Amino acid sequence: MFGSDLKDKVAVITGAASGIGLAVAKCLAAEGAKTCLVDIQEDALEKAVEEINDSGGKAGSIRADLGLESDIESLKRRVDEGYGAADILINNAGLQIVSSIEEFPVDQWDRLINVMLRGAFLCTQNFMPGMAEKGWGRIINIASIHSIVASPFKSAYVSAKHGLIGLTKTAALEAAEKGITVNAISPAYVRTPLVERQIESQAKLHSIPEEQVVKDIMLKPMPQKELIEPEEIGETVLFLCSPAARHINGHNLVIDGGWTIT
């Protein structure tokens, strides 16, 4: 797709046992990349790897907690040994914690920021030098429309995603002359387990059916009133890895059905 030749490129995808990360891994593997799926959920990782290999792709997995510096350092060593230096890094692992600022548990704030912002920084720090040596690399940070707008009760998530855009721009500048591009993708609601959990809890909170949560609450600010499918994010990643995108750098590619233009 998009004339990208990803044959045997090494792609590291964090949070790849589920949702967007899994869809991205499948798309990259379908284009010939050697994919390394990273997550904390071991059983789901195993299943994901099996699924990709059964459909003719190349996949392996490494369990790592992206909130821990030691796990990220060991991830880098194991990728080098088992796959070769990474060409593509997808910083995708994420979680959501919903609470008012007054009641936000500080340990949970730290946990979210550690995984979603510090983890992305540490992965970039560890994998970028190998890409620079090869003179080619693609780093793609899965952000969110919450990198541009805010919602109440999601202070840690919104802060992490806004921060991720700062990291994207800074890394793009530092890598600009090394054949590496660094970009972000910012989707509105994508149909994944993370969102399905939110639909369920909102339905309980407001005592309304789940379909009504999607239509009247989640998609209310989205002119194109549809959930985005995870494969659409995978295909956008392929575009950013393609030759056509070689001068797209430090960009925040928004996929939001028109949400943030209103």
Q: Residue 8 or residue 143: which is nearer to ligand NAD going by CB?
A: 143
- Return d(Cα 247, Cα 259) in angstroms, integer: 26
Candidate ranges 1-9, 50-58, 63-71, 167-175; the one touching ligand NAD (CB under 6 A): 63-71
Q: Does 21 bind ligand NAD (CB under 6 A)?
A: yes
Residue 57 or 187: which CB sits closer to ligand NAD? Answer: 187
Please name which of 186, 189, 181 lies closest in space to residue 224, comparing C-alpha atoms. Answer: 189
List b or e across 203-227, with b for residues whose CB sees 16 or more CB atoms inside 10 angstroms: beeeeeeeeebbeebbbebbeeeeb
Q: Do 141 and 88 contact (CB within 8 A), yes or no? A: no
Give the residue, chosen from 124, 155, 192, 242, that forms a contact with ligand NAD under the rule CB under 6 A: 192
Among 238, 153, 227, residue whose Cα is nearest residue 195: 227
**157 counts as catalytic:** yes
Binding ligand NAD (rule: CB under 6 A), the pick from 90, 189, 236, 242 is: 189
Q: Report the residue number whose CB is nearest to ligand NAD.
A: 19
**Under the criterion CB under 6 A, does residue 40 sit at the interface with ligand NAD?**
yes
Closer CB to ligand NAD, residue 31 or residue 39?
Answer: 39
The amino acid that residue 113 corresponds to is I
Q: How far is the CB of 191 from ligand NAD (least distance, A)?
A: 7
Catalytic residues: 157
